[in-house]
Amino acid sequence: MVVSTPSRSGAWRGAERGGGDGGGGRITRLIPVRLRRVGLPYLLILPAVLLELLIHLVPMVIGVGMSFLKLTQFFIRNWLAAPFAGLGNYRVAVDVDSAVGAALLHSFLVTVAFTLLAVGLSWLFGMCGAVLMQRPFRGRGVLRTLFLVPYALPIYAGVITWSFMFQRDSGMINHVLVEQLHLTDEHPFWLIGGNSFASLVVVAVWRLWPFAFLVLTAGLQNIPEDLYEASAIDGASWWRQVRTITLPLLRPVNQVLVLVLFLWNFNDFNTPYVLFGKSAPREADLISIHIYQSSFVTWNFGSGAAMSVLLLLFLLLVTTVYLALTTRRRIRA
């Protein structure tokens, strides 16, 4: 696609200059119009293509290149002078006996656990919410709008509020748990230590379940009402309708939704960064923030780039397998 764009739009521009809009007979005007129909779409997508190239594809290629370099702070301004490292950065990253590799593996496992929980709960809340609000009732519109507010809030505003609520001495969570419910006598820490993982999951679900809710609500609106009416005449129960109409017809929506939720959570940087600041606790050390730290705190860009490439390969693998499995099953069904 990228290769063919410049040549085609170039051909179109040449034709435009030659033909012009001005006039001539009907037959000469036909030629530029035909050429225009070929070239115009490429010219229309050109800005988008160039921008995607500049911000996404070129940096990605460079990133892969960087991962083979010994790129430390001495070479930031002149990174081509950095010595070649071969697979050295990768070897260190996957060597679980080294400190770097062990930390990366730990961070990876934390991210897997976090993603499974956050995606599962966000989807479940969104699904239950959307299905329970499928039938109109008084106040449904208002409730829908309120449910969407966490998704509408700027990430940092919502997450910083949570970090206030999780404060040990002045936070709302400990006030409820200790002073109001008397569940413990001690004020637990929520932003450091083992609890920080739970805090992270709660905040991520709070932020993302409204998105699942929004998408599934839109998906439900595409299910024809007469399907429910016909099955009700056949005496189908509510639960049976959910299982035989709602869930199967939402399948294409769910396929995309779960994938998007997975990718967002696995790559999530914003939530831990705002919640914990630059150094996330070990128990909540998500992979994005881990790579960020190993790059910008130690200024070892080569190693950070190698870890990023490994992350991308993993995401590509999971996405491909996921799409292959879910699509095939859909065809068989």
Question: Which residue number, 123 or 125, has a Cβ lying nearer to other proteins?
Answer: 125
112 binds other proteins (CB under 8 A): no
Token pair 């999530």 is at which residue? 268
171 binds other proteins (CB under 8 A): yes
Determine which residue in the list 30, 31, 55, 324 makes contact with other proteins, applying CB under 8 A: 55
Dist CA 61 CA 64 (whole Å): 5
Count of positions (residues) in the chain: 333
- Min dist. Cβ of residue 282 to other proteins (A): 19
> Where does this chain touch other proteins (CB under 8 A) — which range of 94-102, 193-201, 260-268, 323-331?
260-268
Task: List binders of other proteins among 178-217 (CB under 8 A).
Answer: 179, 206, 210, 214-215, 217
Q: Is 58 exposed, middle or buried (0-12, 13-18, 19+ CB in 10 A)?
A: exposed
Dist CA 33 CA 303 (whole Å): 53
Task: List binders of other proteins among 272-311 (CB under 8 A).
Answer: 273-274, 277, 288, 291-292, 295-296, 301, 304-305, 308-309, 311
Question: Which residue number, 97 or 151, has a Cβ lying nearer to other proteins?
Answer: 151
- Min dist. Cβ of residue 87 to other proteins (A): 18
Task: Report the greatest alpha carbon distance in the chain.
Answer: 92
- Min dist. Cβ of residue 262 to other proteins (A): 9
Nearest to 253 by CA among 224, 209, 221: 221
Question: Which residue number, 86 or 277, has a Cβ lying nearer to other proteins?
Answer: 277
Q: How far is CA 49 from CA 37, 41, 45, 86, 315, in A?
A: 19, 12, 6, 32, 23
56 binds other proteins (CB under 8 A): yes
Question: Which residue number, 93 or 311, has a Cβ lying nearer to other proteins?
Answer: 311
Nearest to 303 by CA among 311, 294, 312: 294
42 binds other proteins (CB under 8 A): yes
Residues in binding contact with other proteins, number by CB under 8 A: 106
Determine which residue in the list 24, 154, 194, 248 makes contact with other proteins, applying CB under 8 A: 154
Question: Which residue number, 136 or 331, has a Cβ lying nearer to other proteins?
Answer: 136
Q: What is the 3-state secondary structure (H, E, C) of 6-66?
A: HHHHHHHHHHHHHHCCCCCCHHHHHHHHHHHHHHHHHHHHHHHHHHHHHHHHHHHHHHHHH
The pattern of x and - marking residues 221 through 250 that bind other proteins according to CB under 8 A reads xx-----x---x---xxxx-x---------
Question: Which residue number, 36 or 106, has a Cβ lying nearer to other proteins?
Answer: 36
Nearest to 192 by CA among 113, 106, 279: 279
Determine which residue in the list 72, 315, 322, 326 makes contact with other proteins, applying CB under 8 A: 315
Residues 258-283: b if buried by 16+ CB within 10 A, e if exposed = bbebbebbbbbebbbbbbbeeebbeb
327 binds other proteins (CB under 8 A): no
Contact present, 213 and 147 (Cβ < 8 Å): yes
- Min dist. Cβ of residue 102 to other proteins (A): 20
- Which residues make beta-bridge pairs with 84? 69
- Min dist. Cβ of residue 295 to other proteins (A): 6
45 binds other proteins (CB under 8 A): yes
